């Protein structure tokens, strides 16, 4: 028998190029999280799940979950772990916390995602070379096939096969960066036009600087509780209704099933939709935070999450269907393109955004009108793994 699990609150640091250390970010996010949830203290936490990708290279520190517990005054007596799944590490931590509570192993958990990616000049090469580890370093990374070239190839192939335009890519970035302009935690807080995206510094054609997410320091936290415990502290929980994940033997780029489609995303979404009882995601989802590490990513995700037919993703954004008042409000916090992407913290921040949208605790300029259902999505590596989670405002 599984139990219903709710997110009862969370907190955030400012994201960007921070002077704060890895430990500072942990403490900032931890304090903000406990400040947000009246009636829950560090002593109530039974399980701790930390999403962090490369602290060994970015912060020169391993065994970070016990360190987080120490810094926040937590003594987990049921479960403690760090999760590493590249860019999906934060959602992996959230998923494990949800599963542990649903299985009855604990009642209250803290999920914290953190990454310190901007290092002093003398260590800058360490940070940059570390990013190639996310791909297959031996076969892909050493040949320069890190994230921008890979996603540029995805964009080129999608444009070739389906007629997706440069302007449609830029519309994704302009939309999300404009949302981030109203997010006090975002790394980039300036509204950007479609022309400015297209005219920004070219990195890996057709992708330019504004088509790419940032190198970011930041952290975010969430508190999850069983339904019984959650109702003792809030009547505004975000209930987790479904979760899916898939990987199709494709860590190396040469083994990917496609360069213009991510069937792993489709499988993960279908798993989550089935658990949540969602038959028509476009009609039944109100708000979504998807993994727009590059502008093309969001377009492919419209399609492979089952919102439109293959090849129609560019038209989906062009027609305003992913705008705040569209069919599904996509990335109202600003996405990775606007907020930045501190790897292990992104999935946690996405879930916190859905929770805050449910309780109306976001600026009016980027508030979704009365959302009842939400989704978060992350990809990792060369888009070889996809993770999807659905949430509901009322009890599922």
Give domain limits for the chain: 5-121+215-233
What's the mean pLDDT in 111-136? 78
**Per CATH, which fold does 5-121+215-233 belong to?**
Peroxisomal Thiolase; Chain A, domain 1 (3.40.47)
Percent of the chain residues topping a pLDDT of 90 = 87
Tens of pLDDT, residue by residue over 198-256, are 999 999 999 999 999 999 999 999 999 999 999 999 999 999 999 999 998 677 888 88
Q: Are 78 and 105 in contact (CB under 8 A)?
A: yes
Q: Which of 37-46, 75-84, 114-123, 283-292 has the lowest mean pLDDT?
A: 114-123
pLDDT in tens, 273-314: 999 999 999 999 999 999 999 999 999 999 999 999 999 999
Looking at residue 143, its pLDDT comes to 76
Active-site residues: which are they? 87, 341
Strand 5-12 with 385-392, pairing? unpaired
Query: In Å, what is the CA distance from 208 to each residue of 22, 140, 214?
Result: 29, 21, 12
User: Helix/strand/coil (H, E, C) string of 160-220?
Assistant: HHHCCCHHHHHHHHHHHHHHHCCCCCCCCCCCCCHHHHHHCCEEECCEEHHHECCCCEEEE
């Amino acid at each position: 028998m599984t139990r219903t699990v709710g997110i009862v609150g969370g907190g955030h640091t400012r994201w960007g190029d921070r002077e704060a250390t890895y430990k500072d970010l942990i403490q900032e996010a931890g304090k903000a999280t406990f400040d947000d949830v009246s009636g829950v203290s560090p002593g109530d936490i039974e399980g701790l799940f930390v999403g962090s990708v490369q602290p060994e290279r970015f912060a020169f520190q391993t065994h970070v979950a016990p360190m987080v517990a120490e810094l926040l005054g937590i003594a987990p007596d049921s479960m403690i772990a760090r999760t590493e799944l590249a860019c999906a590490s934060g959602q992996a931590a959230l998923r494990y916390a949800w599963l542990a509570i649903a299985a009855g192993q604990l009642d209250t958990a803290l999920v914290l995602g953190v990454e310190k990616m901007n290092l002093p000049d003398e260590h800058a090469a360490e940070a940059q070379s570390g990013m190639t580890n996310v791909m297959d370093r031996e076969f892909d990374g050493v040949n320069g096939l890190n994230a921008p070239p890979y996603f540029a190839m995805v964009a080129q192939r999608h444009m070739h096969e389906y007629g997706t335009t440069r302007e449609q890519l830029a519309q994704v970035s302009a939309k999300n960066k404009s949302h981030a302009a109203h997010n006090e935690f975002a790394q980039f807080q300036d509204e950007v036009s479609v022309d400015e995206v297209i005219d920004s510094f070219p990195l890996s054609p057709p992708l330019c600087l504004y088509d790419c997410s940032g190198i970011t320091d930041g952290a975010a936290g969430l508190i999850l509780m069983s339904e019984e415990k959650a109702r003792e502290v809030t009547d505004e929980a975000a209930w987790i209704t479904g979760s899916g994940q898939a990987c199709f033997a494709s860590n190396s780029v040469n083994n990917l099933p496609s360069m213009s489609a991510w069937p792993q995303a489709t499988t993960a979404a279908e798993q989550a939709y089935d658990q949540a009882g969602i038959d028509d995601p476009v009609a039944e989802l109100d708000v979504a935070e998807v993994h727009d590490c590059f502008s093309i990513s969001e377009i492919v995700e419209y399609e492979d999450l089952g919102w439109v037919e293959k090849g129609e993703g560019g038209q989906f954004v062009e027609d305003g269907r992913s705008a705040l008042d569209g069919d599904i409000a996509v990335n109202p916090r600003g996405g990775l393109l606007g907020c930045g992407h501190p790897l292990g913290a992104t999935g946690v921040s996405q879930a916190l955004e859905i929770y805050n949208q449910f309780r109306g605790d976001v600026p009016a300029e980027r508030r979704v009108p009365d959302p009842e259902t939400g989704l978060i999505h992350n990809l990792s590596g060369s888009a070889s793994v996809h993770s999807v989670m659905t949430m509901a405002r009322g009890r599922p």
